[in-house]
Every structure is written in C-alpha cells, then in structure tokens.
Amino acid sequence: MSQHQKVIIITRDSSDLLQLLKDWNGLVEVIAPEDVPETDLNEYDAIAILGGTSNLPLMFKAKERMKVEEQIAKGKRVFAEFVGSIGHVYAAQPETTRFWRLVYCSEDTPIEGLETGMLIDDQCGTRIKPHDIACSHGKPILQFTKIHAHDRIELADDFCDNISDRALWFDTPSNLLISSFRLSNFIKARYAPKARISSVVQFILNWLFDTQQPLDNIAFSYETGVVDSLKSADGQIAASAELAMGWLNNGGVLSEEGKTGILEGYSTDIDADGKQRMNVIRRADCIGEAALPFYLYYRLDGDERDLQVAGNLLDYLYDNYICMDGSHLHGMMRWTDEAWGVCYQDDVARAVIPQLLINLYTESKDKLEKTFDALRFLVETTGSDGTRLFRTDNINLTSEASVKELQEKPGNLPSAHYNAFYYAALCLAYKLGGEESFIEAARKGMDAILAVYPDTTREQSETQEYCRLILPLSWIYEATGDAKYKDWLYRVTKELQAFKHESGSYIEWDSGYKASMRNEVGEGESSLLASNGDPIVDLLYSNNWLPLSFIQAYFVTGDEYFLGLWRENALFMANAQLHSADTTIHGAWARAFDVDKNEVYGSPADFGWGPWAIESGWTVAEIASGLLMGIMRDELKGYHNTK
C-alpha cells in the first residue's frame, strides 16, 4: 500500500477519530452500515469500522457483514472499534470502564512513546468483553486492569491470561485489528495521558493507512499552562482568579444567582461521548465557601452583582441549613439536602468561615449570632480530649443526655482532616466575639493534634494533614499571641517543603502509608497516592487549601516567607487551571494533577471523587479566594493582628 491508499469508514455518526481519519489524507469515504451492501468495497485498500459513536456496539446485518468479511478474507486491513461481532469474535453486553484502566502490554507490537506497563485512562467509558472461546489468545496490545497505581505497573507473566479483558489486539486473521472499547471520541472523553493515547491512535492510523506519519497537534478538550508570561506574577494570578470566577458564574453550578445555593460540582465520570455528570446535591460547605470569592471579587471590581450573589448564597445557607428550634440540636448545621441529619465539623467550619471573614473585613455583625450558635453546637458535641468524632448523626442525638455523653468521652480523633478547620473557625469567631469557650476548645483540640504530630490520624495523606494545619495554626497564634503556635506554624510549613515540587505545588506523600482512605478500587473513598514519589498533586484534599492558608499566615506573621510561598503556589494554580471551549470546565481545577505531565491524570480508585471531580466549594472557591486575598493583600492585611 502507498501513502495515497483509499480507506472507507463505516460509522453512524461523526467523532474525533473520524475527523482524524479524514485529515490523515484525502482519500477516504464515509458510509453508514446500511450502505455497505450497495458499496463496492473492492475499490478501497482498508476499512475502518467505528461503532463507538453509539452506546450500543455496531452490529452488522447479514448482508452487511458478509461483504466486510469478504474483504477480511482477502487480507485487507480492517480496524473494528466497538463492533459486537466480527470475524470469529463476538462479545458480551456493554459495561462501564469506570474503575478499569488500559495497560500497554505487547512488546511484539511496538508503539512509539509507550513502554510495557504504562497506564492509560478512558475515564468512564464503555467496553464489550470478547468471549474468550471466540478470539485470539495472542498477547494483546492493550489490556484492561483494575488497579490502584499512578503511572505504570509491572506486568506478571500471567497478566494477559484473562482473555476477555483484552482491549486492543490483532485477531485471526492478523489483518483484523479490534478495539473492544469506545475509542471514537477519545478527545471529548478526555483520555489520559494525552501523549499516550495520541501514540495509540497514531499507531492505528499508520497501520490502517500503511504509513509512518506523526500525529501532530491534536486539539484536545483542554489545555493547561495557558498564562501570559509578559504579565507580572500578580497579573497572572489575577487573571487566574478572574477565570475561576467565570467558572463559578458560567460552569452550570450557580443556582438562581445563589438564591437557591450552588451545586456541588462535577463528578469524575466522563462517559465515552464526553459528557461529565453533575453532582446536583447542595452542600452547606460548598454554598458557604462559594460566597467568599464573590465577596472578594466585589471588593476588587466593585460590581454590585458579585456582592448580591455572595449575600444570596449566605442567606440561603443561614436560612435553611442551621437548626434553630431551641432544642438540644440548636445550632446544628446540616451537611447536605440528602444527609439532612448529619453534621461534619470541618464542613461546618468551611461553611461559616466566609461569613466570619466578611464580618471581619466589613466590621459588621451580620449573621454573627447564628454563626456562634453553629460553633456552640460543635463545642457542645466535642469530646473530653478536645477532638470531635468525625461526625454526628441526629438519629443518635435523641436528648440532652446523648449530647452530654459526647462531651464526657474522648473523641479520639487527632486529625487535621476532620478538626483543623473547626479549630480555625473557633479562633476567628473568638477574635470577633471574645467568647472564651471558643478559644478554650480551639487550644485544647489543637494541642491534642500537635501532641501526636506528625502521626496524626490521616485520611488521604500526610501532605493533606500538613496543608490543613497551616490556617488554624495561623489563626490560633493571632488569637492567643502564644509563641508556641507560631513555632508550630513554621515547623509544619517547613516540613511541608519536603513534599514541594519545582512547580510550586506539593505532591502527595504518606510516610508509612498510614492514611485510612486506601480502600480497594471502587469500594470507597481513596487517596490519589499509590506510591510515595508519584508526581501527583491533590486539588481536592491538599493543595487547594494552600493559597488561602499561606496568605493568611503572611497576614498574621508579616513574614515575607509566607508571601513567597503563596506566590509560588498561586502561580502553580494559574498554570494548572483548565482552559477550554467547554464552559463546564473552563477556569476550573480538577482533583488530580500530574505535575510532570501537566495534565489531569491520576488513579480512579476513589468511588466518588476521582481525578476529574470538580468541586464548586472545596476546590474552585477555596483556590479563587486564596488567589484574590493575595492580590488584595495590601488592603486586607490591616484587618489582622500582625505579630
């Protein structure tokens, strides 16, 4: 065959792969399956069958199939993607690939840029498992596996023994190349890493056209690193904050200008057509967190509409999520619309901290008493050791006696994940209202955590714990003036630097792998960390807290050291931010970021919040608030007691 060979493409719809095939050279024709009987396939040098444009695999009718099989028998190259039956091969019904990953495993079929054991993620796609009795048992090019790992795995001798898990392979005869998964819209579906899926597609196209051409300049669904290098650092950071505000406004999460809150965000599930599922639940923490960047942006740009949205969000939160019935549950803040009787102290803290900061920066008392009620409920349900158990459920709090029982026994949870922001909120509330019970509870709890540091009770990673401690240590030092907390602030910050990447981010690390969220793949929440040293950054549980925490540490200490850390981390955020024609992701940050590849990529093991999870509160609002505070540092610093 020559570079000018003719290829016919059989498909029902347009797709990313179809466009690439058209662009490869001009000698292609596209027909629907039902047109096959009337088409002279002898005029073409190769055939591409793209069934992945539909949820159900392409299944030829008898006359269509016989004409295609005739060409296979003649030795013509045929690529069959997501076809229910072809040659000797037939497959089971479609199933999701949500927790499954592609592994390159065939040294016999070299692909430029790939080494055996390298992983590729198709996010939440679809595959059809071939029946093992009906297909070749030779080593496949790609195989599906379910494993918690970051970049690559070592392949055991029996790795490919499960024939039905093969994903891309040459069958019998060897001129038939089969893909059991939906590859057609690999760009829209955000396959990752980009370079690896590009190598696979390049291999398929070169094999089909019998050429050796590079596949250059694929227009993927998003880019990172899109910053104006001519701008100052502050200019780049300000532009990033503006993009984040654009996502909060236009990404589909803001509900009725905040009058009915904000949705949680996007789940990690991106289907084979590129549709990402929205988490439509309303969470108290996300609603409160989202108010802060709108308020700060109002102070920056003077647009009254931003102030109104911030007010709408906080009104919706305070009017609907705090129990105000005067009972023993008075002040309890509800977690979500769904988990109505559940209260997580860390989430409550992050819901009310924006209101407390607005009170500080406006010198107002708006909603202050309701905020204090919410914090009093937390204090009253905190254990004798100063730590609060990970959450309370109203079904178990049936009387004042049941509340008192919580006070009389230790919480046994010296965890920054669950309690650090709770203590931070108490310190800020004490600064505003002087309520001694708040600072007493904060000191007792922080001391309990510091007593076991660095062996705190970890959920995701050691990195996460360090990141979460910086804000409460800053505010407890500001509230008390106790130098020991200043010493701890510097110690934790400097020990966090052991995990620092040259990008200004902090990779996930867990000495001794003590974090509890290391469940089996798909069976619960899971850390992104597979092995210490992986270049994985978590923007849901770790790094997302740092812009706000570092700038607050600067406000409290006046030390340029913290301002420098803020600037480095904020510039990382600007570089990691998503730029896309798709408004659902443009200006946002997703949970998992590989700092070596500079793209969204990481283990999909977590059941609910995988690599592509985009949280309106925890991630976008928290990062945007920290960026904006740093840009406005000269204005805001004076509200804090610099020591």
Task: List all residues 6 or more positions away from 357 whose beta carbon is below 8 Å from its beta carbon.
Answer: 292, 428
* Least confident interval from 355-364, 445-454, 460-469, 513-522: 513-522
* Least confident interval from 236-240, 439-443, 517-521: 517-521
d(CA 223, CA 365) in angstroms, rounded, equals 43
Q: Are 64 and 36 in contact (CB under 8 A)?
A: yes
Identity of residue 473: L
d(CA 418, CA 391) in angstroms, rounded, equals 8
Task: List all residues 6 or more positions away from 74 whose beta carbon is below 8 Å from its beta carbon.
Answer: none
* Confidence check: pLDDT of 147 > 60: yes
Hey, how many other C-beta atoms are within 10 angstroms of the C-beta on 552? 28
Q: Are 49 and 8 in contact (CB under 8 A)?
A: no
Average pLDDT, integer, range 181-186: 98
* Confidence check: pLDDT of 3 > 60: no
Hey, how many other C-beta atoms are within 10 angstroms of the C-beta on 323? 20
d(CA 635, CA 584) in angstroms, rounded, equals 32
Q: Tell me: the pLDDT tens digits for 383-438?
A: 999 999 999 999 999 999 999 999 999 999 999 999 999 999 999 999 999 999 99
Assign a CATH topology to domain 233-639: Glycosyltransferase (1.50.10)
Please, what is the average pLDDT of the chain? 97
Q: Where does CATH 3.40.50.880 sit in the chain?
A: 7-209
Q: Are 168 and 196 in contact (CB under 8 A)?
A: no
Q: In what order do the strands lie in the sheet with 614-615?
A: 276-279, 265-270, 614-615
Q: Which CATH number is correct for 7-209, 3.40.50.880, 3.60.15.10, 3.10.20.30, 3.20.20.70?
A: 3.40.50.880
**pTM beyond cutoff 0.95:** yes
Beta bridge partner(s), residue 58: 83
Task: List all residues 6 or more positions away from 251 whose beta carbon is below 8 Å from its beta carbon.
Answer: 583, 584, 585, 586, 587, 588, 614, 616
Q: In the structure, what pLDDT confidence band is assigned to residue 194 with cuts at 50, 70 and 90?
A: very high
Q: What is the DSSP letter of 36?
A: G
Cβ-in-10-Å burial (0-12, 13-18, 19+) of 241 comes to: buried
Task: List all residues 6 or more positions away from 405 whose beta carbon is below 8 Å from its beta carbon.
Answer: none
Hey, how many other C-beta atoms are within 10 angstroms of the C-beta on 31? 14
Hey, how many other C-beta atoms are within 10 angstroms of the C-beta on 368? 16
**Residues recorded for the chain:** 643
d(CA 359, CA 349) in angstroms, rounded, equals 15
d(CA 525, CA 389) in angstroms, rounded, equals 18
- Identify which of 4, 8, 135, 2 has the alpha carbon closest to the alpha carbon of residue 71: 8
Q: In the structure encoding, which two tokens stand for residue 221, read together?
A: 């669904």
Q: Tell me: the pLDDT tens digits for 471-521?
A: 999 999 999 999 999 999 999 999 999 999 999 999 999 999 999 999 899
Instruction: Give ∠ CA 15-110-119 in degrees, rounded to 5.
Output: 65
Q: In the structure, what pLDDT confidence band is assigned to residue 229 with cuts at 50, 70 and 90?
A: confident
Average pLDDT, integer, range 237-249: 98
Q: In the structure, what pLDDT confidence band is assigned to residue 217 with cuts at 50, 70 and 90?
A: confident
Q: 145 by DSSP, 3-state: which?
A: strand
* Confidence check: pLDDT of 642 > 90: no
* Confidence check: pLDDT of 641 > 90: no
Q: Where does CATH 1.50.10.10 sit in the chain?
A: 233-639
d(CA 116, CA 23) in angstroms, rounded, equals 29
Average pLDDT, integer, range 246-266: 98
Average pLDDT, integer, range 291-301: 97
pLDDT at residue 2, rounded to an integer? 43
Backbone dihedral angles phi then psi of residue 338, each to the nearest 5 degrees: -85, -55
